[in-house]
Amino acid sequence: MPTERFTFPANFLWGTATAAHQVEGGNINSDFWVLEHVPGSPFVEPSGDACDQYHRYADDIAMLARLGFNTYRFSIEWARIEPEPGEFSRAALDHYRRVLACCHEHKITPVVTFHHFTSPRWVAGDGGWEEKKTAERFARYCERAAAHLGDLIGVACTINEANLGAYQYLLGAMPLKLDPSRLEWFAEAARRIGADPNRFAPYLMCDQMKARDTMLEAHRLAAAALKSSRGKFPVGICLALGDLQAMPGGEQRRDYIKAECQDIFYEAARGDDFIGVQTYTRDRIGPDGALPPEAGVETTLMGYEFWPEALEANIRQAAAIAKVPVIVTENGIGTDKDDRRIEYVRRALNGVARCIRDGIDVHGYCYWSLLDNFEWNSGYRPTFGLVAVDRETQARSLKPSAKWLGDIARAGAIDADLR
């Protein structure tokens, strides 16, 4: 395979990504913590102590810097910062201020996500993401958090994968809404926080199309709050993007999914400073929705197809429609074969290089994830991390891919196939 040395822009963000609930541990005031602990729920295990990054962040950030990265994308936890409506925890805000300061100490640009799936129990119990007032509540939280943290924020992402629920629904991968009259575990989770099961609406478990519209409004209000807050930093939204490919007869369905779950968010991002592209694979679309991977193709621990070329396709589409710079805020692979991780990222970065060569304004690449962490319903089985975590001792162990990608980040260049 012919390659040539490709040098990325001098200010390119080379990072890894995590989410608070997946790595911090002990996020007991969040809606997902409740769901994880209800018998019969789809969670195979609870998050528990996760990777204990709430206490180990300094070592993890120092490790990132030693490896050669200059960026860390992480989320701050709304459930910690606003445990009750209008009650903000100075202790939690001070904690995240120390995390941000630690990033700066190690010359790491902090990319802060304000919502990464989890919400306070009281939000989920009072209509959650089906409720329009959640958008205003979210913007209030963003405004309050940024007032305390904004001078140390490098880049701000309002919402992680704000389109995911609607996207999965239209693919046929999840129902429009969970029915508490048919799901005792869901009704029990609502009862445990004193909520009406019919008002209990955690993200990804509520009416997906209502949530889509609430998320769009929440982003609009939050972006305005952040732009007028303490500090000057770029603000954008992160989207879940599969490379939508129509199989015979699937063209109309593909175009409908793209319009309802991708284009509408691209258009909403036109006034932002960037758009966050998060891509893992392609989605093959038939007349009735997504099709499974073809027989015999390589798949990941998550069950979807090994298809790193999806990243280039989605960068090109996002840039063309949103007309703002792109940051790859997530891209990675759940695998127990680290050589396949390296191959996946190599091919994905070849696509990023081709986009930049063609004049597309790509500002950064964040691999998902820094650590093997809590992968939601799937628990700790899927391993996305550049760094392994011993579940008993919390000891970190670098995988070969960590050094490989860190070396690319330090050099700011890669031997790429630009064909």
Q: What is the pLDDT of residues 76-120, one digit of tens each?
A: 999 999 999 999 999 999 999 999 999 999 999 999 999 999 999
Share of the chain above pLDDT 70, in %: 100
- CATH classification at residue 321: 3.20.20.80
Instruction: Spell out the residues 6+ positions from residue 306 whose beta carbon is closer than 8 angstroms to its own.
Output: 281, 297, 298, 299, 300, 333, 340, 344
Are 78 and 115 contacting, i.e. CB atoms less than 8 angstroms apart? yes
**Predicted confidence band of residue 391 (pLDDT cuts 50, 70, 90):** very high
Q: How many domains does the chain have?
A: 1
Res. 280: pLDDT tops 70: yes
At 2 the pLDDT is 82
**Per-residue three-class SS string for 359-418:** CCCEEEEEEECCECCCCHHHCCCCCCCCEEECCCCCCEEECHHHHHHHHHHHHCEEEECC
Which residues are known catalytic residues? 161
At 1 the pLDDT is 67
**Predicted confidence band of residue 140 (pLDDT cuts 50, 70, 90):** very high
What is the chain's length?
419
Instruction: State the pairing for strand pair 243-246/282-286.
Output: parallel
Please compute the mean of the pLDDT values over residues 161-188 and round it to a whole number: 96
Give the domain range for residue 394: 4-416
Report the chain's mean pLDDT, rounded to a whole number.
Answer: 97
